[in-house]
Structure 1
Amino acid sequence: MMIRWLLIGLLTVSGTAQAVRPIDPPGLLPTEIARPLLEQDPGVAAARAGLEVALQEAGILDQSPHEWATRVTGQRRVQDYGPGNSATGNRREWQAGIERTIRLPGKAAADRSIGKATVEESQARHGEALHEAARELMALWVDWLAAERARELAELNLQSAQASLAAVEKRARAGDASKLDVSIAHAELAEQRRMENDAKTQASAAWLRLSTRFPGLKRQVLALPTPLPIGEGAAFWRERILAESDALKVVQAQMRKAQAHAERARADKTPDPTLGVYTASEIDGRERISGVMISVPIPGGVRGSRSAKAIAAVEVSRQEVELKQRQLEAEIASAVATARGAYDSLHIANEGAAAMQENARLMQRAYALGEAELQALLLARRQATVAMNNALQGQVAALRAYYRLLVDAHLIWDLEHD
């Protein structure tokens, strides 16, 4: 019989998706083990470093892009008083000034909005990297537990083949079975040994994939649990997953950034003025000049074109948000339907596996009593093996679907904090 662990921690719904408390279902890695594995993932670490880059970018945008500029010039004035005149006409003169372009207030506000949206986008990308790593960890973990369960089933089938061979040899010694039957039983045992070795290999390979992708995980085999039915409605999962979706938050932040860029381009239609002060010395210092300088570029058509381009980009971002939301809604509806269908299929497969196992047990007994042929026994064994493997695959599919909903809804591994 398949070992069943009931998943505890039913979701508590109080009308909204946000009211659901996180759960820690048995059979899945506990949070205190899974969370460090996720934080150490290179993709998550890269996204975390990207967040620091975004914070630095926001700090840069918060400051004016213009800097103080100094200007110093020196010259010599030469005057020619004509031939025969010994008076010198060389005069040393200089001019010094300091100036700076002033960022207008509307542009400063737009730059800060761009910086804020950049940080929000980076935060969402970090959450999405964590979410994708969680999906991968969940899938590899379930694959390994399933491979270990398949190895256990292969060992049981090997034991059954050994029991069948013993029964054939006993009948052969009594003169009730032919040498051909003994040979067929030996061949069946060899085939079961091969399948048991393949199952061991698959289990080892599954563990290597898991432990290599997420190093530091200790090998501790748990029983493959049986999922509970999806009791919540599709509307619950839709609201919860959309509210927690970092992929949706990324495109929403990109839309806000595009809107801020449009505001910046609109404000940039008015050029920033340059203000400065200067002082000068002429005729060897006999004349001193000081003054104030104001410089304003004359705007051309390029500024208006850039503003129109930025406004058009906002519409592109708005449509991308709508597209991403529709894609997520379709994925959520499909995931919920898949989880429910997989759960129903699992129960059907379990019923079939139980019937086939009982049939094989009765056939084994009948053969031992001389009431059935060897081929009928082997056929019953093969049918039971196929039915048990089908039930295992149904269990894995149902678990994957259920765990994926939990990951997407950020209900496990403290994903709701990101």
Structure 2
Amino acid sequence: MKPLYFSHTLVTLTLTVLFSSAAAENISDKKQETLLPDSALIRQTLTQLPGMRASRFQQDIADAQDQKLQSGGHEWQLRLSQTERKETGNVRTRDQEVSLERPVRWFGKTEHDLRLGEKGREVAKIAYADSWHESARTLLNDWFDSLRTQAAVQQFGEQLQLSRQLRDIAAKRVKAGEAAKLDLQLAETEVSKLEAQLQTAEMQHARQLELLQYHYPALTLPVLHTLPVPSPATAEHRIEAIMEDNHELELATLEADYAKLQLSRTAKDEMPDPVIGIRAARERNGQDTLVGFSIAIPLGGQSRRADTGQAAGKAGMAQAKLDVVRQKVWREALKVTQQRNQMYTIWKALDQAKRQSEQQSQLMMKAYQLGEISLSDSLQIRKTATETAFSAQQAQLDALFAEARFELDAHRLWPFDAHH
């Protein structure tokens, strides 16, 4: 009768576990809790990061450079002179002269400088946006690392509770004379092992929270309750969604354009700017008054041609960097897109395995309680269930992270706001 009773128990518990799992999944779908902080708090946190403040200063520098290019780098020069003249007959007279001079940009240099200033401001703006995106990536990584360690604490805590239940069952069976003392020793060993694993997980979680609080003091520390169910990839989750609006690629493009403008501007400097001036003079103690106009043209040399060659090299480097960045961004977009799909598939497989393993573990615990299997077999199944549950939980977090990372790179999560 024992095998028949065990079969009946197995079927009953299987149906119970399956129904409970389905109900739990349904509740999880309806009561999904967001894993990420409030967007307004994220914006405030990112704005205050040291790297973002440094990027803000780059914008100030670009604004000042634009103002300088609008006014030009040339300055007015005031020249004063006085000369004493000694003529025949021991007659002494004095001459005074005042002149105002300034180099003047010509051959379209003013228009080039205006374009350079505007392009420099565009570069600084996109550099700030790119810094925002990189800082958001780092924050997302740190946040999910803290969720992973917190999930590990919860997982080992749940497994420890089940192992203590199994130990209590073993103690009752030993006391009733239905099992050997070795069973109780094995159960206590498993409890001690899980207590040590839980303590290690708690230490790792505490360190991760300290890191999170140090770098992002404005954020509320994450509290993990129920993990949302990852969503499968759709037609929108493709490489083009990332490539179409990418700050790093846009920054490299603008830097290449800026280098080309600099090359064109430097080439124009091979023709030096003339220095124009007006002058007024009094000679012979004011007997003669002079008013005139002056122009001086520097004679360009090898130095100016060398500057043009240097600017050409920088323009070539900027173009080569653009090609490198384009390939890098495409590879990263491909990686993020593939992970978005693969992590979901891996989680689905491990989640199914976890459900089956949990069912077997619960059934075997009941079977051991009824004396139908040995404790060593039950512990082995419990160990397998623990490892599978932990892997499934981490895979679920990996899938949720891959989902969030794709949305971040596609600028649908925490998008950059030019007003911040």
TM-score, structure 2 normalization: 0.88
Q: Tell me by how many angstroms 1:303 deviates.
A: 2.6
User: CA 1:54 to 1:25, structure 2 compared with 1: closer, same or farther past 3 Å?
Assistant: farther
Q: Tell me by how many angstroms 1:220 deviates.
A: 5.0
> In structure 2, what is the equivalent of residue 377 of structure 1?
378
Matched, 1:99 2:101: yes
Secondary structure of the equivalent of 1:60?
helix
Taking the TM superposition and a 5 Å limit, the aligned residue runs for 1:107-118 are 107-118=109-120
User: CA 1:6 to 1:231, structure 2 compared with 1: closer, same or farther past 3 Å?
Assistant: farther
Q: Tell me by how many angstroms 1:414 deviates.
A: 3.5
> In structure 1, what is the equivalent of residue 199 of structure 2?
197
> In structure 2, what is the equivalent of residue 182 of structure 1?
184
Q: Tell me by how many angstroms 1:25 deviates.
A: 9.0
CA distance, structure 2, for counterparts of residue 415 and residue 99 of structure 1: 48
| Root mean square deviation of aligned Cα | 2.3
CA distance, structure 2, for counterparts of residue 392 and residue 288 of structure 1: 95
**Larger mean Cα displacement after TM superposition, 296-305 or 339-348:** 296-305
Q: Tell me by how many angstroms 1:176 deviates.
A: 2.0
Q: Tell me by how many angstroms 1:261 deviates.
A: 0.7
CA distance, structure 2, for counterparts of residue 413 and residue 64 of structure 1: 40
Q: Tell me by how many angstroms 1:105 deviates.
A: 5.3
> In structure 1, what is the equivalent of residue 220 of structure 2?
218
Matched, 1:119 2:121: yes
CA distance, structure 1, for counterparts of residue 417 and residue 291 of structure 2: 64
> In structure 1, what is the equivalent of residue 65 of structure 2?
57
**Larger mean Cα displacement after TM superposition, 382-391 or 284-293:** 284-293
Residue 156 of structure 2 contacts residue 194 of structure 2 at CA under 8 Å; is this kept in 1?
yes
CA distance, structure 2, for counterparts of residue 56 and residue 385 of structure 1: 61
Residue 41 of structure 2 contacts residue 218 of structure 2 at CA under 8 Å; is this kept in 1?
no
Task: Return 5+ residue gaps in structure 1 as ranges.
Answer: 9-23, 82-86
TM-score, structure 1 normalization: 0.88
User: CA 1:89 to 1:248, structure 2 compared with 1: closer, same or farther past 3 Å?
Assistant: same
Taking the TM superposition and a 5 Å limit, the aligned residue runs for 1:76-91 are 76-79=84-87, 87-91=89-93
Q: Tell me by how many angstroms 1:379 deviates.
A: 0.8
Please tell me the residue identity of whatever aligns with 2:389: M
CA distance, structure 1, for counterparts of residue 28 and residue 74 of structure 2: 65
CA distance, structure 2, for counterparts of residue 76 and residue 354 of structure 1: 107
Which digits, 9 at most, give the CA deviation of each residue in 1:165-216, with x for residues without a partner? 1111111112122222222222211112222222222332222222221112
Task: Return 5+ residue gaps in structure 2 as ranges.
Answer: 1-20
Q: Which of 32, 44, 47 is equivalent to 2:55?
A: 47
**Larger mean Cα displacement after TM superposition, 253-262 or 279-288:** 279-288
Please tell me the residue identity of whatever aligns with 2:227: L
Taking the TM superposition and a 5 Å limit, the aligned residue runs for 1:222-233 are 222=224, 223-232=226-235
Please tell me the residue identity of whatever aligns with 2:363: L
Q: Tell me by how many angstroms 1:395 deviates.
A: 1.2
Q: Tell me by how many angstroms 1:7 deviates.
A: 10
The alignment covers a number of residue pairs equal to 395
Q: Tell me by how many angstroms 1:5 deviates.
A: 4.8
CA distance, structure 1, for counterparts of residue 337 and residue 91 of structure 2: 95
Please tell me the residue identity of whatever aligns with 1:107: K
**Larger mean Cα displacement after TM superposition, 191-200 or 348-357:** 191-200
Please tell me the residue identity of whatever aligns with 1:351: Q
User: CA 1:55 to 1:6, structure 2 compared with 1: closer, same or farther past 3 Å?
Assistant: farther
User: CA 1:320 to 1:414, structure 2 compared with 1: closer, same or farther past 3 Å?
Assistant: closer
Please tell me the residue identity of whatever aligns with 2:122: E
Q: Tell me by how many angstroms 1:298 deviates.
A: 2.0
CA distance, structure 1, for counterparts of residue 344 and residue 30 of structure 2: 13
> In structure 1, what is the equivalent of residue 147 of structure 2?
145
Which digits, 9 at most, give the CA deviation of each residue in 1:124-176, with x for residues without a partner? 11111111121122222222223222222112111111111111111111212
> In structure 1, what is the equivalent of residue 292 of structure 2?
291
Q: Tell me by how many angstroms 1:109 deviates.
A: 1.3
- Percent identical pairs in the alignment equals 25
Please tell me the residue identity of whatever aligns with 1:162: R
Which digits, 9 at most, give the CA deviation of each residue in 1:368-415, with x for residues without a partner? 111111111111111111001111121122122111111111101233
> In structure 2, what is the equivalent of residue 18 of structure 1?
none
User: CA 1:126 to 1:6, structure 2 compared with 1: closer, same or farther past 3 Å?
Assistant: farther
User: CA 1:310 to 1:400, structure 2 compared with 1: closer, same or farther past 3 Å?
Assistant: same
Q: Tell me by how many angstroms 1:260 deviates.
A: 1.3
Secondary structure of the equivalent of 1:244?
coil
> In structure 2, what is the equivalent of residue 14 of structure 1?
none
CA distance, structure 2, for counterparts of residue 6 and residue 119 of structure 1: 47
> In structure 2, what is the equivalent of residue 399 of structure 1?
400
Q: Tell me by how many angstroms 1:257 deviates.
A: 1.2
CA distance, structure 1, for counterparts of residue 259 and residue 417 of structure 2: 27
User: CA 1:104 to 1:5, structure 2 compared with 1: closer, same or farther past 3 Å?
Assistant: farther
**Larger mean Cα displacement after TM superposition, 141-150 or 113-122:** 141-150
User: CA 1:283 to 1:32, structure 2 compared with 1: closer, same or farther past 3 Å?
Assistant: closer
Residue 7 of structure 1 contacts residue 26 of structure 1 at CA under 8 Å; is this kept in 2?
no
User: CA 1:120 to 1:25, structure 2 compared with 1: closer, same or farther past 3 Å?
Assistant: farther
